[in-house]
């Protein structure tokens, strides 16, 4: 990649540590600046990043030594930060979802196209060995022609462990917009884009109780649906039944299953980079694990940004993120209006990831690296 690509990080909350663990010291990138509304957090972060400066958000967005802005703010701020970076001619890679609302997301993608810069978006877990091995199995015909799929995410809610969970229950939050990007991005890789959806949703509790941290015991309001289900119609005719919920305790359902004429495939948790892919072929008496055959081995948060920079945005890009966001907002709209909703966006299926050793994508194979 030549000289190290200069990255400025906006937002230093819980997830930033995972990104910085991957990026700090990587030969392909150099974190040159960080910014957070909490100046103390920014100061703490730069102490572990030699050569980085703690700036205000505005200073970072306009800084001449930042090529790409890594946007790790809360969903409500995603679009504003992205548009600010684009206005200064910078590429943007952000946490999911692309924006809190569909029109904001469209504006980000349109502004980037006009400015000639790239937009990337998490999740990058779909680039790990779990989803990529499953994708390779589907592409190889292991299940035959896919007929239908299921995707299930059930949890009691993030307020049990997150010290400041408010944004999970406000606009841009909820189980679908929070966790749905992992599942829907994986389904796009496995089965292609979606043409229409039918949804149903509910808000089963009016408030939640924070379970940890300095605000433990505090009650926060629930302003979004906390259980969303629906059916996705993929462009090739495959149907996926989706459930995302903050209102259950646990489930024995596989995170994703793909069923075809010749077999059924059990796909691991798309919120992880790895996991066992299992196949039950027609005529077999039991499931069997498939060997790892594709994806970034030992993946970690931030591998999507590295891939985005190295590939020119071929995979975790704005087109995929916009389509995933419209799929989710269409489900919520369908639930509210009680009707089937056709999508207006589509996306090319991202290029598959060949099996890549951790030492290679982490840059440890480069000269001078251990």
Residue 217's region, left for phi above 0, alpha for psi from -120 to 50, else beta, is left
Report the predicted TM-score, pTM, of the whole model to 2 decimal places: 0.93
Distances (CA, A) of 138 to 8, 132, 142: 38, 10, 6
Torsion of CA 168, 334, 94, 13, to 10 degrees: 0
Alpha carbons 137 and 338: distance in angstroms, whole number: 36
Task: Label residue 62 exposed, middle or buried (CB < 10 Å: 0-12, 13-18, 19+).
Answer: middle
- What is the predicted pLDDT for the residue at 185? 98
Give CA–CA dist 74/71, Å, rounded: 9
Of the candidates 57, 54, 94, 90, which has an alpha carbon nearest to the alpha carbon of residue 75? Answer: 94
3-state class (DSSP) for residue 173: coil
Residue 2's pLDDT is 46
Which residue matches tokens 């009650």?
A: 219
Could you say which DSSP state residue 262 is in? S
**What pLDDT shows up at residue 14?**
87
Stated length of the chain: 370
Report CA torsion sign: 103, 107, 110, 113: negative
The pLDDT of residue 167 is 87
Residue stretches of the chain with pLDDT short of 70 = 1-2, 365-370
Look at residue 219 and give its three-state secondary structure: strand
pLDDT given at position 365:
61
Whole-number pLDDT of residue 364: 77
Q: How far apart (Å, rounded) are the C-alpha atoms in residues 6 and 247?
A: 42
- Reduce the DSSP state of residue 34 to 3 states and report it: strand
- Residues 294-348: pLDDT tens digits? 999 999 999 999 999 999 999 999 999 999 999 999 999 999 999 999 999 999 9
Task: Provide DSSP, 110-121.
Answer: HHHHHHT--EEE
């Amino acid at each position: 990649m030549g000289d190290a690509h200069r990255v400025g990080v906006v937002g230093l909350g819980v997830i930033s540590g995972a990104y910085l663990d991957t990026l700090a010291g990587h030969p392909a990138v150099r974190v040159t600046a960080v910014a957070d509304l909490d100046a103390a957090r920014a100061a703490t972060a730069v102490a572990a990043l030699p050569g980085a400066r703690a700036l205000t958000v505005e200073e970072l967005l306009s800084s001449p030594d930042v090529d790409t802005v890594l946007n790790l703010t809360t969903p409500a701020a995603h679009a504003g930060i992205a548009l600010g970076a684009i206005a200064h001619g910078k590429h943007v890679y952000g946490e999911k979802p692309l924006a809190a609302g569909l029109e904001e997301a469209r504006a980000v993608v349109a502004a980037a196209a006009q400015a000639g810069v790239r937009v990337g978006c998490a999740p990058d877990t779909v680039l790990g060995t779990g989803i990529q091995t499953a994708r390779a199995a589907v592409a190889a015909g292991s299940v035959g022609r896919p007929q239908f799929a299921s995707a299930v995410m059930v949890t009691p809610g993030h307020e049990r462990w997150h010290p400041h969970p408010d944004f999970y229950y406000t606009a841009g939050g909820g189980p679908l917009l929070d966790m749905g990007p992992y599942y829907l991005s994986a389904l796009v890789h496995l089965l292609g884009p979606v043409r229409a959806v039918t949804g149903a949703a509910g808000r089963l509790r009016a408030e939640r109780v924070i379970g940890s941290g300095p605000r433990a015991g505090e009650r926060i309001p629930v302003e979004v649906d906390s259980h969303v289900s629906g059916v996705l119609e993929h462009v090739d005719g495959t149907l996926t039944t989706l459930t995302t919920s903050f209102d259950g305790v646990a489930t024995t359902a596989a995170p994703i299953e793909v069923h075809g004429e010749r077999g059924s495939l059990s796909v691991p948790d798309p919120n992880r980079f790895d996991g066992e892919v299992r196949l039950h072929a027609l005529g077999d008496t039991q499931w069997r694990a498939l060997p790892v055959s594709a994806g970034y081995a030992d993946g970690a948060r931030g591998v999507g940004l590295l891939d985005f920079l190295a590939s020119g945005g071929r995979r975790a890009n704005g087109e995929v993120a916009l389509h995933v966001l419209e799929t989710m907002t269409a489900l919520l709209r369908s639930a509210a209006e009680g009707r089937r909703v056709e999508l207006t966006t589509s996306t090319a299926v991202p290029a598959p990831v060949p099996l890549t050793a951790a030492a290679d994508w982490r840059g440890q194979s480069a000269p001078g690296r251990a």
